[in-house]
Amino acid sequence: MTDLSVAVQHAKADRAGIAPPLWLLAELTYRCPLHCAFCYNPVNYAEQRGELSTDEWLRVLREARALGAAQLGFSGGEPLLRDDLEVLVGEARKLGFYTNLITSGVGLTDKRLDALKENGLDHIQLSFQDSTQELNDFLSSTKTFDLKNRVARAIKAHDFPMVLNCVLHRYNLPHVDKIIDMALAMGAEYLELANTQYYGWAHQNRAQLMPTEAQLREAEAVVERYRKEIGNRCKIFFVVPDYYETRPKRCMNGWGSVFLGVAPDGAALPCHSARSLPGLTFPNVRDTPLADVWYESDAFNRFRGFDWMKEPCRSCDEKTHDLGGCRCQAYLLTQDPANADPVCDKSPHHEKVVRVVREAAQRGAALTADEQPVIFRNDANSRRLATEVTHKD
Amino acid sequence: MNDTNPNAPQRAPDATSKPKLNRLFRLQFEPAQDAHVLLYPEGMVKLNQSAAQILLRCDGTRDIAAIVADLEQTFNATGLAPEVETFIAHAIERGWLEPSA
């Protein structure tokens, strides 16, 4: 939901034609009270130990701001589990960042809202899993629906701009109208209806979460109808899942182009999901200055530009538009992150995407009793999956 | 589900309205962009110089006539009213500005 694409075209190239980062995502912790089945955190997150200290984060914030980053997201896991969040927000605001808190709402008490306000937090993005208690609580494997409702009221009572975020999939797509009604009733200024991207935990649960095309088109029509009715009152973003496209999305607006993520243990990532890619050594902010991470590191340079591309991307006249799509998706579906994103129907692997879509159609929208159970994001599942999946960080 | 009619035609701002920045947006100079930008939840718009100079004056205390006068004086120019009014109408449509204080 950004206009950063506009900005980046005009961004001043700093070193060797590389524009500076605009977005710093500070993943403060992988700890989370929720266990969402579509979490984008790495499935082996439980193996990552040792969170950055307050002082280390403060240094990261200063270095990122000096590079040119203007947007800062505090995320996780649940960032409220860090009791130094207010200190980090305060410093970020003083540095001139626009500060976004991306939260489940668990732990967002009036007291903390007061302190965050005092420290200059600009905006809060609150997640819901559905408009119904039953599904919200099932998908997050918690009892948090009522709490989230209370938190939404408290956020508005503290006069924060609020983005409501709801990840969409086969279970909740039929509720899109109710989800929009909920956002309007809560006074959210933005509603982000993000169809599940199939990385991390969502990839594990793809068969259960993948919607049918009919579900998607219906939801899209509902969104369109609401947009016409509500005007500027609440801006609704609806991100179509790319399995249903024939051209890949311009992932992260380009590798090492806008986005700089820092994981809880200090690993610097060119995208949220990059940890799943083999053959890349991600620099750690504990021992590498952020300027070196961004401009010099192999990991951030690996998929910049076009030289890394294979066919059919290399000679494709659309490569400057979509940049070959998503590296993580290319790896997950073709086992080679330098391949074309198989969402593209020019990819020799596109059939794999078509098959997933066809299977979703056969499975249908209705949930049945004999479905494979959803795998929730929790420590036990993470440790089990870590032994099954080969990860190299 | 809606208490106002959003389809009602937006009244064009007249010279006496006092536009101010929508609270969702923050206007600041970004050295790395060498430009003023509007920052808002998870996004950024880079502004050209005239857009920035107009928005900087939209503080809810000045009407459009005063903003035009100030710009004409600062930049030693005349006849800026049409450009300023067009931009302010555009900025209101984009939600950057609220029409009056």
Give the pLDDT confidence of A212-226 residue by residue, as tens digits.
999 999 999 999 999
Predicted ipTM > 0.90: no
> Whose CA is closest to A126, among A78, A173, A64?
A78
The distance of A12 to chain B (nearest Cα, Å) reads 6
What is the rounded distance in angstroms from the CA atom of residue B33 to the CA atom of residue A248? Answer: 29
Contacts of A122 in chain B (CB under 8 A): 26, 39, 41
Give the residues across from A220 on adjacent strands: none
| Lowest mean per-residue pLDDT among A23-32, A40-49, A281-290, A304-313 | A40-49
Q: Report the percentage of chain A scoring pLDDT > 90.
A: 78
Residues 311-340 of A with CB under 8 A from B: none
Is the C-alpha dihedral spanning A102, A105, A106, A112 positive or negative? positive
- Give the count of beta carbons closer than 10 Å to the beta carbon of residue A270: 30
Give the global pTM.
Answer: 0.90
Q: How far is CA B73 from CA A375, B35, B59, B79, in A?
A: 66, 22, 18, 11
* Residue A18 bridge partners (DSSP): A15
**pLDDT at residue number A368:** 75
Position A391 scores a pLDDT of: 46
Looking at per-residue confidence, does B8 or A242 come out higher?
A: A242
Q: Which of A6, A22, A102 to mutate to test the interface with B (most CBs of B within 10 A)?
A: A22
pLDDT value at residue A389: 58
Strand arrangement of the beta sheet that strand A259-262 belongs to: A235-239, A190-195, A162-168, A123-128, A98-103, A71-75, A23-27, A259-262, A268-269
Residue A376 has pLDDT above 80, yes or no: yes
Please name the residue of chain A whose CA is at the shortest distance from the CA of residue B32.
A68
> Is the distance from CB of A116 to CB of A86 less than 8 angstroms?
yes
Q: Give the pLDDT band (50/70/90) at residue A188.
A: very high
Q: Specify the amino acid at residue A265.
A: D
- Provide, rounded to the nearest whole percent, the portion of chain A with pLDDT above 70: 95
Q: Under an 8 A CB cutoff, do B32 and A11 touch?
A: yes
Give the pLDDT band of residue A300 (cuts 50, 70, 90): very high
pLDDT of residue A241: 83
What is the DSSP secondary-structure string of A217-267? HHHHHHHHHHHHHHTTSSEEEEE--GGG-SS---GGGSTTTSEEEE-TTSB
At residue B6, the pLDDT reads 41
Q: Is A14 exposed, middle or buried (0-12, 13-18, 19+ CB in 10 A)?
A: middle
Nearest to B44 among A14, A70, A228 (CB): A70
In angstroms, the CA B62 to CA A283 distance is 51
Q: Does B8 touch chain A (CB under 8 A)?
A: no
Q: Tell me if chain A has a CB within 8 Å of the CB of B37.
A: yes
Could you give the CA distance from residue A133 to residue A154 in angstroms, rounded to a whole number?
Answer: 19
Residue A388 reports pLDDT greater than 80: no
Check residue A19 and give its pLDDT: 93
Average pLDDT by consecutive 10-residue portion of chain B (101 residues)? 40 75 94 94 92 96 95 95 95 89 54
Q: pLDDT tens, A24-80? A: 999 999 999 999 998 988 898 988 879 999 999 999 999 999 999 999 999 999 999
Q: Mutate which of B42, B49, B96, B97 to disrupt the A interface (most A C-beta within 10 Å)?
A: B42
Distance (Å, rounded) from C-alpha B99 to C-alpha B101? 7
DSSP character string of A258-299: SEEEE-TTSBEESSTTGGG-TT----BTTTS-HHHHHHT-HH
Mean pLDDT along residues A317-325: 96
In whole angstroms, give the CA distance from residue A182 to residue B79. 48
Residues of B in contact with A161 (CB under 8 A): 23-24, 40-41
Q: How many interchain CB pairs under 8 A, A with B? A: 88
Tell me the sheet residues that pair with B26. Answer: B39
pLDDT one-digit tens code per residue, A78-132:
999 999 999 999 999 999 999 999 999 999 999 999 999 999 999 999 999 999 9
Chain B residues in contact with A258 by the CB 8 A cut-off are none
Task: Note whether A230 and B2 are within 8 A (CB).
Answer: yes
| Cα–Cα distance for residue pair A361/A368, rounded to 1 Å | 14
A2 pLDDT exceeds 50? Answer: no
pLDDT at position A295 over 60? yes
Residues A159-173 have a mean pLDDT of: 95
Q: For A171, what's the count of Cα atoms within 13 Å in the CB-facing half-sphere?
A: 24
- The HSE-up count of residue B13 (CA atoms within 13 Å, CB side) is 29
Q: Which chain B residues are Cβ-neighbours of A20 within 8 angstroms?
A: 32
Residue A297 CA from chain centroid, whole number: 23
| Candidates B2, B33, B48, B49, partner chain A, best to mutate (most A CBs within 10 A) | B33
Number of helical (H) and strand (E) elements in chain B, helices listed first: 3, 5
Contacts of A67 in chain B (CB under 8 A): 32
Report which DSSP code applies to A38. T
Burial label for A110, CB within 10 Å (0-12, 13-18, 19+), is exposed
Asked if B41 and A100 come within 8 Å (Cβ–Cβ), the reply is yes
Q: 3-state DSSP call for residue A63?
A: helix
Calpha distance A39→A31 (Å, rounded): 12
Token code pair at residue B22: 């929508």
Q: Would the CB atoms of B34 and A70 count as touching at under 8 Å? A: no
* For range A128-138, the mean pLDDT: 92
Find chain A residues with C-beta within 8 A of B31's C-beta.
68
Q: Coil, strand or helix: which one is A118?
A: helix
Q: Across the interface, do B6 and A163 touch by the CB < 8 Å criterion?
A: no
Q: What values do phi and psi take at B54, rounded to 5? A: -70, -50
